[in-house]
Structure formats: C-alpha cells, structure tokens
Structure 1
Amino acid sequence: MSRIPSTQALRALECFARHGTVWGAADELNLTRSAVSHQLRLLERDLGFALFNRVGTRIELTARGRAYAGDVRGALSAIAGSAARNAGHGLSGSLTVSCTPGFAAFWLAPRIGGFRAVCPEVDLRIVTPRRLDDVSNPGADIFIAFGSGAMQGVEVELLQQVEFAPLISPVLANRLGGIEAPADVLRADLLHLGDTADWRHWLHAAGLPQSAADKGPVFSDMNLVYAATIAGQGISMGDVLIGNAAMEAGQLIRVGDVRITSPDAYFLCTPPQKAELAPALAFRCWIVDALPQRKRPAAQ
C-alpha cells in the first residue's frame, strides 16, 4: 500500500490487541463499538492482508495481525516518547500539581526528574490533598486523583487502573517461616488504609473468611501503611503500581498470585480554565508516556 493508515485506525488496532475485545478498545478510546469495528475493517481493507479471524460473532488477531499490532505499538510509543521529550522545549512559567500522597511519594517523586529534564524552565510545585478524590484546590493547575472518576468541575481522563495484592517485608516473611499461599496472610496482622474493604475484597477472591480483615491497625495515609509494611509490622493490601519500586528494591514481596482490581482508579483532572496551559499540557504528555500501558485489567 502507498498511503499511511489513519492514526485513529492504528490506535484502534493497538487497543484491540491489548484488550482482546472491541468493547475494551472502545471503552479506552471513548468510542462506540461500531466505530471501532469500522476502523478495524477499514484498516484491514487498506493493508490488503487479513488482520483478524472471525469466530462466530467474535474476532481475534491472526498471527500476521499480532505481529503488525506489535509494530504499531512500537511506533505509537516512539511518537508519544518524542512528544514528551519535546513538549517542554522553550516552556517557562509555573505548574502546581495536586497528587494523592501515596502516588506522589512512591511513583511521582522518584520520577519527577524525567519531567524536569523536558521542562527545565517550568517552576514545579507538588501538593497533596486531604482526600484522595479532592480536586477543589483553586491553586492547583492539574490533579492526580484517586476515585470513581465522578469528579465535578474538571475535565477527567483515566490515568491508570489499579490492582491490589498483599505485600510483606522479607523480614516479616522470614520471621513467619516463609509465606507463599494466600492462607499464610492469616498468620500476621493485616494493615489497612482507611477501612477494611480492600482486604475483605481480596480475602473473598482468595476463598478465605472475610472476618479475618477485622484484625490489624487502620491508617489514614498510604505512606504510613507502607512504612509499617516495610518495617515488618504486618501485611498490607498494596497498590501494585506504586509498590513496584519497593518490590524491585527487595523491600517488599508480593504474596501469592491473587490480585483484585480496584473499583476506583487514578485520574488526571484538569480545571477547564487551565486545560490549555502549556506546562499542564506538557505534564500530561510526559506522565501518560511514563506510566505503564494503561490497560484495564480483567476483573477478578
């Protein structure tokens, strides 16, 4: 073929390859299922080779389709990376980011040098709200909030879905004589953030009694939960995204393979009057590129 396929069609293919369903791709792209199906049909026609096998009412990628989707993902990532690297060229001014404490401490702060590298002249300020879904600070230019996505008075974009899993320090794991099976968490205190709901959800998914969630201290801040976990005071229901650095550093270990998908997620929220601010646009471009693939995990 001589012409380049539309970017929208390529994005539809990349999303379909990750989700495996048209509805999953439509959900992420904020399009109707019929619109995504139409883009995929046009792309297959323009390419001149089969991207999909039809299985009843479902479609699945052919081997050639999977290979092409992988190439498309690499190309789109390269474009996004180039945008992030160049977004801040010549920018100045100030940017105040309101970010939930756990995300700020364990994900954003260790990586903020990446944004400074592309926007060195932007005066950056990071603040934390009292509530995880609070987007009311009039001094903030952009918010990273955690909640249902029903934030009022701001433009809301899904930033990252969240999975939870039990996390334990190696010190406590050794003290307990090893911990591998889900039932092993019952031999230690369970650490809670705000309430016991996340542990109850996980215990149910693991086939364990939910009443076990009634033991252990409750903390008001994720930083306190992680501090207690790393210090070997118990097992926490950890956000896999922000706990990843501690796991890679050997400070925390994930217990078993059972994960739960949180009904809430991280959202990037922008007041309409600040949506076109150049530093805010550059920050949005940078963080979207820096985060892992924003795939919606399958429900447990």
Structure 2
Amino acid sequence: MLTAIKILSVRLLGACMVMLIVAVLVFSLVHLASGDPIAVLLGDQATASDIAQVRALYGLDQPLPAQFFIWLRQVLHGNLGTSIFLQQPVAEVLLSRAEPTLLLAFFSVAIATLIGVPCGALAAVWRGSRTDQLVSAVAMLAASVPSFWMGLILIRVFAVQMGWFPASGYGPPDAGLAQRMYHLALPSIVLGVLNSALIIRFTRASMLDTLGEDYVRTARAKGLPETAIMVRHVMKNALIPIVTVIGLTTALMIGGTVVTETVFNLPGVGGLVVRAVLRRDYPVIQGALLVVAFIYVLINFFIDFLYTVIDPRIRLHK
C-alpha cells in the first residue's frame, strides 16, 4: 500500500513538472510571436501614448520573466487571467465554449472505437484474406482524407441534398442533449471515421501479436470455441495498446477539432483559440493551451490506472 502511494506521488509530481514545462513553453512562444494585442485592440487611430498606457494597464510593459511569474501565480490560484478583447475571465470564456468541443470529441471517439476495434479484430482474425485487405485499404484511405474535405462532402450530401441533418450550427441556446447530438452528428461522423484508421491498425497489430502466443495455441488444442478464445484470451490480452490509442485519440480530439468546428460553424474552443491567435489575445491562448495540456496529462494518468485494471499483472511499482 505504501509503495503504491509512493509511486502515485511520484507520478503526480511528474505530472506537475510536465505542466510547469508546458506553462513555460506556452508563455514563451505566445509572447515571442510577432504582433501587439494592444495595437490590434485600439486600432490604427491609436497613438503611441495610448498604446503604452493600455500596455501598462495589462502589465505588458513589464519584463517577460516578471509577467510569467505573475501569470503563474494567478494560475496556481485558479485564475487564468482576463481576455484582452472579450473583457471576461478566461476560465468563463473557455467554459462557455467547452460543451460543443467535449461532446464532439467524445461522440467522435465513440464512433471511432465502434468502427476501429471490430474492424481491426476482423482483419487480425482473417489475416491475409480479402476482408483484411479491404479493412487495411479503407484504414489507409481514411487516414489520408482531410477532415475539411470529408466534412464538406457530408454537408453537401446529407444536409443540402437529402436534408437529413443540419449543415452547421449547434442549435438554439435552450436545446437539449438530443438536439445537440443531432447537430453534432455529421462532424462526429467525420472525426470518428477518420480517426478510426489508427484504432484499426493498432487493434489489428495488437491482436496479431497475441494470436501468436503459446497460451492461444494451448487454448485451441484444448478444443475451446474460437469465439471464447478471441474474447477471453486474445482480445483481453490485446487491450492495453488499444486502450492507449483510444485514450490518445480522445486527447487529440479535444485539442484538435479546430478545422471541423470551423467547417460546421460550431461555437467550440477551437474557433475561440483561432480568433485569439489572430487578435494576439495572450490570456486566452495561454489558458486554452494550458487546459488542453492538463487534459492530456489527466488522460495519460487515467490510462496508466486502466492498465492495472485490465491486466492485474501490471502494478504501479513496475
């Protein structure tokens, strides 16, 4: 018990170090980029005196190390700062845009998993067959298709021509979960289908490695049904790489839905970050990237915990 607590503490400390490094990199890259948010905010008619006055108001006239430690102290107190252009706390701005991004990410991961795991398993079971070749070809094609192109195709076919789904938007402000899902159907299919390619390949490779193990041949020699062998022995022991890629796909979805949100005009975090970059809204950019990095770390930590649940032979001290 003490060993597990100790290792857990070490991993938490490692996660904190990762977040500190991310904070330094995010702050440095954002502030070293060209452009002045105050000049953009005040417009072309602003004088140098006006710009200097507003820069002092936001603390942008101080040296970068001083600005970093002021921002880091605010973050440690749960304050991500205030948006220069929106004049709202960054945490509130991100929270107001989080729902579309999170729902889109989780629906897309669900679709990718439902497609990727069964298809990868079938390709592994029937290795070298036409089914395997077809699944592998489709996976390669899905990995090569740009998300914006597929999104436009689905909008044209299923929204414009057939009228089955809305072409864009997130529904009225008082819409329920069912209506939100209806609006997220097409973008979720786009991301789910395209990201299922990686899950297919990992599932196939992991199951092929497991199919060659001695205990699988022993189970077959004992006369166990093939379905039981696949479920109890092959799939169960091949889950760790599959869980890993699903977890990483979830993190990538949360941080990488910018293009899809733009195509479908979703009011998510992606569009907010793009506009913040164009305006040089430092607090929003820093806060969004820091939150996404924290989600990455949290998901990786959760994946490590799932390893011990899936395979009891794996312990924290290993």
| TM-score when normalising by structure 2 | 0.29
CA radius of gyration, larger in: 2
Q: Which has the higher strand share?
A: 1
Q: Which has the higher helix share?
A: 2
**Larger RCO (alpha carbons 8 Å, 6+ apart):** 2
